[in-house]
Each structure stands twice: as structure tokens, then as C-alpha cells.
Amino acid sequence: MTEVHVSPFSSSRDSDPGGAGAEEPTYSIAELAREFEITPRAIRFYEDKGLLEPRREGLRRVYTERERVRLLLIVRGKRLGFSLRECQEVIDMYGAEPTEGAQLRRLIETIRQRRRVLQDRLNDLRMTLRELDEVEAQAQRLLEAGEGFSGEGDAGGSGGSGGQSAPGDGDGAIC
């Protein structure tokens, strides 16, 4: 993915190197899809959700640098696990907030909230992995001890339980 160093809080007018008369670069949907390694369908979806507002030249969508930066924020936000609503909030900040300081404080709070959610998920995953390790170790011990098993690969052709304990009877139960 292309690394772009554009402040999400400045409009394209703020970075116009050629002054008021310079023409702003524009992009097609295919160019943006290629640059951000997403599908044109995803870009149209973001447009349908009101996150992007390209201008139209006939049936053709024309994206400005402002829309490109908005798409960058969406793609980056999605990669970081933000919902589209959270991406929209970050994008809307720089249109609604009067100062960049307020925007940055809101962005920091959004990031901290996301980090807390991810940390909780990570803790849950670690607990689940520990439990899986315990169950696997218990199953391995039972297998090595041959406890209640008539043999490996026995499809139960003897018609009985093959000496295995029934689920829930407490003998060698794993789960």
C-alpha cells in the first residue's frame, strides 16, 4: 500500500502549492482502487454510505484530493479495526471542529477506545488459548495412558462403546 503523509485535518486548499489558480489533481475510481488495493465496489459502497462524495462528469465519478484523503482515512481506519461509523466520525471531525487541537484530542480518544476493545479481545484470546492448551494436554495424557480406548483407528465395529466412557459420565471427560 502506498504510504501517504497527508494531514487528515487539512483540506486540499491548505496544501495547494500553486496558489489559487492551480488545478487540483483528480482521480478515477480505478486509480484509487489500484492505489489503495481495494475494489471499485468498495469505493462505491463508501460513497453509498455518504463517506465519499465524488463529483460526476456524466456517468464518470471524479475524485478530488480531498476524496482521496478521505478514502485513505477509511482504509486506514478499517485496517485498524474501526467501524465505518467511527471512520465517519474521524472524517467529520476536520469539517466540524474549529481547531486542529480539538480534532487531535478526539482522534486520540477514539484510538484509546479502540485500543481498549482490542486489549479486551486479546485477553479473551489468551484465555481461550490457555484453555485449549489445557484440553489438548489432557487429551494427550488420556491418549498416552490408553485410558478407556480399545485401540487407534477402531471404528467401533464391535457394536459396543469400545470401552470408552459415555459422554458426561465423569470418567476421562475433557469438556
Nearest alpha-carbon partner for 149 in 165, 135, 169: 165
Q: How confident is the model at residue 93 (pLDDT cuts 50, 70, 90)?
A: confident
| Domain range annotation of the chain | 15-96, 98-145
Measured between alpha carbons, how far is 149 from 142 in angstroms, rounded to an integer?
9
Nearest alpha-carbon partner for 91 in 5, 34, 10: 10
What's 15-96's CATH class?
mainly alpha
pLDDT at site 40: 96
Residues 96-151 have pLDDT tens digits of 655 678 777 888 888 899 899 999 999 999 999 999 999 999 999 999 998 666 65
pLDDT at site 19: 47
Residues 36-88 have pLDDT tens digits of 999 999 999 999 999 999 999 999 999 999 999 899 989 998 988 888 998 88
Residues 134, 120 contacting (CB under 8 angstroms) = no
Give the range among 22-36, 90-104, 161-175 with minimum mean pLDDT.
161-175
